[in-house]
């Protein structure tokens, strides 16, 4: 009887950016990671790498954490090495119509990111944190949700993720730094979601962090 596969699993949690919106070319950075491992898996079918993208548009850190333990526990049983990638910050920092405060307050967001890292560690998973991307304008109203998006406010959520990464020794992808002073070239017409070029940049940065921790 053939022995069970010795699987290395990368679980991705997030919302529309990790899901791959606005990238008709290759369907997002997570799908690019899947493409990366195809050649490796073809030559190493007894020790494959699996990219498990659980991102769902509209998700927030609170919703992700409600299901996280179940997800990680299931995948921990199926893999010899487990990594967890968290891509959040945009939905949490939005100010919805009729409101004056973000969807998820910064203090609650910090606790949520800390919880994600702790739960990952409990399931022997190395967490990689991916911050939100900078909007194309300082402030604008989303045509899809009617929410107000402010670049400075979103950056505060990115900063919280950076701080938690430093506190916990977790790798962090700073997308504000990655996209630089001209983020609009990496964003779609809606001014917030990465375009194909933006997903290419994200893919490269996230892949490098996964390689550093031995997940790919």
pLDDT tens sequence across 147-183: 999 999 999 999 999 999 999 999 999 999 999 999 9
Question: What residues does each domain of the chain span?
Answer: 8-212
**What is the model's pLDDT at position 40?**
84
Among all chains, which residue has been given the structure tokens 């892949």?
207
Angle of helix 29-43 relative to helix 196-212, nearest 10 degrees? 50
Percent of the chain at pLDDT above 70? 98
**SS3 (DSSP) at 186:** helix
Q: Phi and psi of 150, rounded to 5°?
A: -120, 130
User: Does the domain made of 8-212 have the CATH classification 3.40.50.300?
Assistant: no
Element spanning 189, H or E: none
What does the pLDDT average to over 82-110? 96
**What is the model's pLDDT at position 5?**
58
**What is the model's pLDDT at position 96?**
94
Model confidence pTM above 0.85 = yes
Buried b (16+ CB within 10 A) or exposed e, 129-149: bbbbbbbbeeebebeeeebbb
Checking if the pLDDT of 134 tops 70, the result is yes
Checking if the pLDDT of 133 tops 90, the result is yes
**What is the model's pLDDT at position 145?**
87
**What is the model's pLDDT at position 3?**
45
Confidence of residue 118 (pLDDT cuts 50, 70, 90): very high
Judge contact between 47 and 12, C-beta under 8 A. Answer: no
More confident position, 5 or 55: 55
Confidence of residue 1 (pLDDT cuts 50, 70, 90): very low
**How is residue 82 written in tokens?**
């487990």
Nearest to 19 by CA among 48, 59, 49, 50: 59
**What is the model's pLDDT at position 45?**
75
Judge contact between 54 and 70, C-beta under 8 A. Answer: no
Nearest to 59 by CA among 49, 71, 50, 51: 71
């Amino acid at each position: 009887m053939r022995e069970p596969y010795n699987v290395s699993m990368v679980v991705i949690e997030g919302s529309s950016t990790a899901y791959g919106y606005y990238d008709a070319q290759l369907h997002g950075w997570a799908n690019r990671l899947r493409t990366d491992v195809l050649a490796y898996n073809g030559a190493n079918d007894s020790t494959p790498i699996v990219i498990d993208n659980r991102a769902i548009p509209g998700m927030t850190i609170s919703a992700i954490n409600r299901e996280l333990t179940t997800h990680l526990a299931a995948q921990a049983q199926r893999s010899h090495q487990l990594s967890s990638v968290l891509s959040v910050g945009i939905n949490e920092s939005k100010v919805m119509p009729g409101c004056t405060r973000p969807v998820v307050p910064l203090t609650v967001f910090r606790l949520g990111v800390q919880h994600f890292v702790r739960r990952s560690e409990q399931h022997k998973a190395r967490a990689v944190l991916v911050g939100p991307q900078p909007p194309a304008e300082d402030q604008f109203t989303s045509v899809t949700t009617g929410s107000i998006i402010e670049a400075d406010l979103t950056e505060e959520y990115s900063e919280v993720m950076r701080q938690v990464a430093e506190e916990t020794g977790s790798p962090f992808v700073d997308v504000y730094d990655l996209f630089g002073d001209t983020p609009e070239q990496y964003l779609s017409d809606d001014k917030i979601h990465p375009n194909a070029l933006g997903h290419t940049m994200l893919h490269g940065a996230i892949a490098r962090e996964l390689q550093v921790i031995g997940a790919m």
